[in-house]
Structures are given as structure tokens and as C-alpha cells.
Amino acid sequence: MGPVMVGPSSSHTAGTARLGRVAHEILGEDPVMLRFFLHPPLERTFRGHGSDFALVGGALGLDVHDHRIPEAIRIAEQLGVDVDFAEEDLGDVHPNTVRIVAKGAAREVEIVGSSIGGAAIEVFSINGFSARYKGDSPTLLLFYRDRIGMIHQVAEAIAREGINIASLSCSRKERGKDAFMQVDVDSPLSSQGLAKILALDEMDDARYLDRIP
């Protein structure tokens, strides 16, 4: 069964709200600027289905069933968040795909993801790194400098927390430069556990996303 949600469309309202929420969770703070770049088929239908306020609502941190979702654009205005929408051809992707740029006081996050139906989502790019996030397990997103032994250190730190790794994948922009690791785990990670991973040498940023309920 799908989630409890505000209508009218699970792809356009709930799925897009979840994509916005992923951007919010990675950002980890209140956004001051939000930009939504909609793949052409989504751009044509998104206002009718309420994707505009769903995306904004999610990016403000609202749940898919939050009754304030329809008011999200007004709420963003009241909070002084700079919001804008534009069309952008995102290539050979699912029709309902969006690129989200969210800026806070400390971080800036960019994700590209699709709302694939029944409120399910797939995020396949995070800050320019290829990713595969569906929200079906607790997930660690690690940004670090590409060095020998990083996977070993991360795996060891997670094991010390008594947590099993379900899957792990890395990508990097250039050898020895910025790299990204996505680690899906079987049980939740505490904030202390996350802090330990963030404290590792060469670790620039570590974000933890809970399973989407």
C-alpha cells in the first residue's frame, strides 16, 4: 500500500514532495533558495497536479500527508525563501524528472530524481555524483577526497556501530579529487555514529537519510 498523502496525484504530488524532502534532508537546514528544473513532460503537467507546491513543501521539510502542502508556496514566501521553476531537458529519463538546487546558510545541494509512480522515487544524481537512492533503506551519503583506504575506514566505522551494510557504491569526479560514497544500511545510524564518520580524515561531509516511511 502507498502512503497517506494529500491529493491529487501520487506521481506529481506525493512523489515530487518526497524528492523535495530528500533535498531538504541532505541540506540539513532551512533553505534560503530553491530552484526546480523540470523535465519537459513534467513541466507541462506539474501545476495542474500541484507538483509546484508539493516540491516546495517537501523542500521545506513537510511530509507528504501534511495538510500544509497546498499552502507551501505561500509559506515559502512568508519565510522569505527565494523559489523559482524552470524547464530543462534532463535527457533520456523518466517523464516525471526534476533537478533540484537547494541552498541554505551552510550548504548547497543539487539532486536529480524521478517520481516513478505510487509515490515511489529514484534519485540518480547527488551534487553531480551518480547515485541510486530510493529511500527504501537508511542511507549514508559521504563526500570525501579520493584516498586509498576510505572504503575500509567507512566500513569499519559503520561496523563498530553494530550496523550491517546492505550495499555500497562510490563514484568520483577525478582520480584523487572529490569523491562520493553511498552506503545503504540495514538499521538506523545514531547522530553520534554519524559524527564519528564525519570526523574521519579526508571526509568533507557526511549526511544520513532515514528510510522514507
Partner 1 sequence: MIASFNELLAAGEGRDLAQVLLDADAEESGFTQQQILDALAKRREVMWECVRRGKLNAGLSMGKLVGGEALTMAAAFDAGKTFLDPLTVKTMIYSLAVMDENSRMGVIVAAPTAGAGGVVPGMLLALEEERNVAPEKTIRGLVVAGGVGSLVSLKANISGAAGGCQNEVGVATAMGAAAIAYMKGGTTRECVQAGALALKNVLGLVCDPVGGLVEVPCVKRNSFYAVHGLTAAQLALAGVQSIIPMDEIIDAMVRIGRALPRGLKETAEGGLAMTPTGCAIAERIKGEANDRRQAAADERERVAAERKAERGEGKD
Q: How many CA within 13 A on the CB side of residue 1?
A: 3
Do residues 139 and 209 make contact, with C-beta atoms less than 8 angstroms apart?
yes
Q: Which is nearer to partner 1, 116 or 200 (CB)?
A: 116
What's the gap between Cα 75 and its chain centre?
21
Question: Cα 51–100–134 angle (5° rounding)?
Answer: 80
Q: Which stretch binds partner 1 (CB under 8 A): 37-45, 102-110, 150-158, 193-201?
A: 37-45
149 contacts partner 1 (rule: CB under 8 A):
no
Tell whether residue 139 is a contact of partner 1 (CB under 8 A).
no
Q: What is the dihedral of CA 55, 32, 139, 53, to 10 degrees?
A: -10
User: C-beta of 193: minimal distance to partner 1 in Å?
Assistant: 17
9 contacts partner 1 (rule: CB under 8 A):
yes
Enumerate residues 47-86 that contact partner 1 by CB under 8 A.
Answer: 47-50, 65, 67, 69-70, 73, 77
C-alpha cell at 26: 541532505
| Residues 151-190: x where in contact with partner 1 by CB under 8 A, - otherwise, as a string | -----------------------------------xx---
Q: What is the CA radius of gyration of the chain?
A: 17
